[in-house]
Amino acid sequence: MLRHLISKIKATGPISVSEYMREALTNPVTVCDVTFLQFPQRDSRLLTVVVLSQGYYVRNNMLGAEGDFITSPEISQVFGELLAVWVISEWMGAGRPKQLQLVELGPGEGSLASDVLRVLGQLQSVLGGASVSLHLVEVSPALSRLQAQSLTGTRSQEADSEDDPVYRQGRTDGGLQVSWYRCLEDVPRGFSIFLAHEFFDALPIHKFQRTKRGWREVMVDIDPDNQGQLRFVVAPSPTLASTTLVQVDETRDHVEVCAEGGVIIQQLASRVAEEGGAALIGDYGHDGTKTDTFRGFKGHQLHQVLTTPGSADLTADVDFSYLRRVVGGGVACLGPVSQRTFLKNMGIDTRMQVLLRNCSDLTTRQQLISSYDMLTNPTKMGERFHFFGLLHLSRFAKPKTATGLKLEQKSPAQLPVAGFTDMSFS
């Protein structure tokens, strides 16, 4: 991957951080580097084709103790169970539509989806015969195979044609249809509840630096002192991104903008506005206050972002203020609230007490307590991770008060939005 990037920069000049991240994480093809070896004494050249690795997400299973990082759904099943309750609560709040598409962006090993489906299965009486289907947006063929294994066992198969927007399809043992897509546009329209956990932080960011001559984009170039390495440089003149993506009233000196995340949140917002439903985004992030958050992870350790690209996870905190700004007014935005607040509002304490009451095995009890601590402790994941929601505006419409009737009809009160204490309208 490093050689591929160096050849690319040699050919076309420094690349944006966004392009660097996209190549290193999600380059879909096995990159072929073609070189000619010269044999002057024989006046001949030998063509060599070196096959280089694909992007990090495309070929890796990076999750878990053996991988590079661990996520909340992998830490405890309770996380997915509480998100399932959120899904049901929003489905009820929307008037219990007959069809429910559950859509997950970036499902990793499929643990969150599997925990959510288990709870939906247990609460079938609440769902009252609504038809549920699962739709997974996953860029990595390797991870899609793992997800299929955990969700459908052997009951899934790849599409015959590469052009098929549904590249894999299967059924859970409960008979629920599961479909895999490369991008959100391919997911069918219809009432949907979207979940995206640690998805937005994996999308490419642009980086910008305030200079005496105005905002300039940070680029990735070849290090002149070591031609086999990369380094950051500041573009000498404005780029299209630096002139369009930085806010005019920006007060920070360094900003990161995830334009791809902006496009995806707009797509989610327009689907929620047009088809009904909701989106719940859980990720580490900030509300437009942080500056340089771009970092790498390898083997659960911080890793230099420009070293051995393609072998480490690259990530940046999600700027929720940016997501809220680009969403516009068609839907209501909720949060961000901290993971601790969200999970406590969702009833994690009660759920943990029930699990502990029913568990006598000392090791399992200790695991339950430490996973609870990991998810909610403010110094661990409790305050670093946040939840952000998009809801259809009708969810907050004031109940109509009937006038001119002797007996005033009582309108049903709106259900409060589970998990969120803090609510704002964009």
| Residue 108 interacts with ligand SAH (CB under 6 A): yes or no | yes
DSSP structural state of residue 299:
T
Give the relative orientation of helices 348-357 and 77-93 as an angle to the nearest 10 degrees.
130
Q: Among 100, 143, 205, 381, which residue sits at the site for ligand SAH (rule: CB under 6 A)? A: 143
The least distance separating ligand SAH from the CB of residue 373, rounded to whole angstroms, comes to: 19
CB crowding 315-340: b at 16 or more within 10 Å, else e: bbbbbbebbbeebeeebbbbbbbbbb
| Residue 74 interacts with ligand SAH (CB under 6 A): yes or no | yes
The least distance separating ligand SAH from the CB of residue 80, rounded to whole angstroms, comes to: 10
* Amino acid letter, residue 144: S
| Residue 140 interacts with ligand SAH (CB under 6 A): yes or no | yes
CB atoms within 10 A of CB 225: 7
Q: Candidates 131-139, 228-236, 343-351, 355-363 — which segment interacts with ligand SAH by CB under 6 A?
A: 131-139
Q: Candidates 71-79, 152-160, 231-239, 284-292 — which segment interacts with ligand SAH by CB under 6 A?
A: 71-79
> Rounded to an integer, what distance in angstroms lies between the CA atom of residue 426 and that of residue 424?
7
- What residues numbered 198-217 form the site for ligand SAH, per CB under 6 A? 198-199, 202-203
The least distance separating ligand SAH from the CB of residue 335, rounded to whole angstroms, comes to: 18
Select 195 or 332, whichever has its Cβ closest to ligand SAH: 195
Residue 146-165 contact track with ligand SAH, rule CB under 6 A, x = bound:
--------------------
Q: Candidates 9-17, 95-103, 104-112, 250-258 — which segment interacts with ligand SAH by CB under 6 A?
A: 104-112
Q: Among 67, 80, 106, 310, which residue sits at the site for ligand SAH (rule: CB under 6 A)? A: 106
> Rounded to an integer, what distance in angstroms lies between the CA atom of residue 98 and that of residue 113?
20
355 near 368, Cβ under 8 Å?
Answer: yes
CB atoms within 10 A of CB 38: 10
Tokens at 18, concatenated: 């966004």
Helix H or strand E segment including 102 = strand 99-105
Show the CA angle centred on residue 304, arms to residues 303 and 310, nearest 5°: 80
> Rounded to an integer, what distance in angstroms lies between the CA atom of residue 126 and that of residue 121?
10
| Residue 71 interacts with ligand SAH (CB under 6 A): yes or no | yes
Q: Which residue is nearest to ligand SAH (CB)?
A: 106
Q: Candidates 67-75, 242-250, 338-346, 392-400 — which segment interacts with ligand SAH by CB under 6 A?
A: 67-75
Q: Indicate the SS3 state at residue 205.
A: coil
Q: Is the peptide bond before 28 cis (omega within 30 degrees of 0)?
A: no
User: 362-370, long-range: CB within 8 Å, 24+ apart, which pairs?
Assistant: 368/76
- What residues numbered 325-364 form the site for ligand SAH, per CB under 6 A? none
The least distance separating ligand SAH from the CB of residue 294, rounded to whole angstroms, comes to: 15
Q: Candidates 94-102, 191-199, 273-281, 369-377 — which segment interacts with ligand SAH by CB under 6 A?
A: 191-199
Q: Considering only CA atoms, give the Rg of the chain.
A: 24
23 near 309, Cβ under 8 Å?
Answer: yes
The least distance separating ligand SAH from the CB of residue 232, rounded to whole angstroms, comes to: 22
The least distance separating ligand SAH from the CB of residue 139, rounded to whole angstroms, comes to: 4
- What residues numbered 16-45 form the site for ligand SAH, per CB under 6 A? 26
Which residues of this protein are in contact with ligand SAH, per CB under 6 A?
A: 26, 57, 63, 71, 73-74, 106-108, 112, 137-140, 143, 197-199, 202-203
